[in-house]
Amino acid sequence: MLADHDEVWFRNLYAETYQPLLAYARRRVDAATADEVVADTFLTAWRRRDDVPDSSERLWLFGVARNMIRNAARSSRRREAAHDRLRLVRPAEVDDPAAPDTGERSTLITTALAALSEADREVLMLVAWEELSHAEIGQVLGISANASAIRVHRARKRLAARLDRLDHAGIDEGKAQ
C-alpha cells in the first residue's frame, strides 16, 4: 500500500513541477544538460522521497536542481582544464618545424589514450578530469592509496611511451615524403 502511495505522490509531484523545473534549468544551462539535470533531480526525489519536505516539494526540487547545475558546471570546467593539461603533456617546441600543431597533438593524445587499456584510461581520467587524489582514486576503485599511486604512475608511463611512438611515427612519415 505504501508503494502505491509513493507512486501517486511522485506522479503528482512530477506533473506539477516538471515544466517549471525544466524552464529553470534551461535558463541556466544548455538544453541537453538541462534535460539531464531535471532527470537526475527527479531521480533524487524518488530515491530520497522520505527526505522531501511536505508542502515544500517544489522548492526542494529547485534546490536539488541548483546543486546539480553547479555540479555540471564544475564538471565542465574540470573537463576543459583536463583537456588543456592533456594537450600540454609534452608541448611542442616552438622552433621545431617537425613538431605537430595543437590539433595534431590533440589527435595524438586521443589516439594514445584509445590504445591504452580501459583500466589505464580510467585512472588517468580520474586524475586529470576529476582531479582526484590517489587516496580518492583508491576509494573509487576499491584499492589502497598506494596501489592507486602505482597504477597512475604506470598508466602515465604507458601513455608517454605511446605518445613517443606516435610522435616518432609521425616524424618518420614526414621524412619519407
Could you give the angle at the alpha carbon of 126 between the alpha carbons of 122 and 127, nearest 5°? 120
Taking CA atoms, 47 is separated from 50, 71, 155, in Å, by 8, 19, 37
HSE-CB of 100 using CA atoms within 13 angstroms: 23
Band of the pLDDT at 21, cuts 50, 70, 90? very high
Domains 2-83 and 98-176 are alike in CATH topology: no
The CATH number of domain 98-176, selected from 3.30.420.40, 1.10.540.10, 1.10.10.10, 1.10.1740.110: 1.10.10.10
Q: Inform me whether the pLDDT recorded for 106 exceeds 80.
A: no
Task: Pick the range with the lowest mean pLDDT from 129-133, 148-152, 167-171.
Answer: 167-171
Residue type at position 82: A
Query: The whole model's pTM is what?
Result: 0.47
Q: Inform me whether the pLDDT recorded for 46 exceeds 80.
A: yes
Assess if CATH 1.10.1740.10 describes domain 2-83: yes
Q: Which residue has the cell 526542494?
A: 60
Q: How many percent of the chain have pLDDT more than 70? A: 84
Report the pLDDT averaged over residues 125-130.
Answer: 80
Band of the pLDDT at 37, cuts 50, 70, 90? very high
CA 77/CA 81 separation, integer angstroms = 6
Residue 87: per-residue pLDDT = 67
Residue 6: per-residue pLDDT = 87
CA 18/CA 7 separation, integer angstroms = 16
Tell me the three cell numbers of residue 117. Answer: 587499456
CA 163/CA 169 separation, integer angstroms = 10
Q: Where are the domains of the chain?
A: 2-83, 98-176
Tell me the three cell numbers of residue 47. Answer: 530515491
Residue 22: per-residue pLDDT = 95
Judged on CB neighbours under 10 Å (0-12, 13-18, 19+), 77 is exposed
Kindly give the residue spans of alpha helices, DSSP state H, lying in the chain: 2-26, 31-47, 57-87, 102-115, 118-128, 134-141, 145-176
CB 131 within 8 A of CB 78: yes
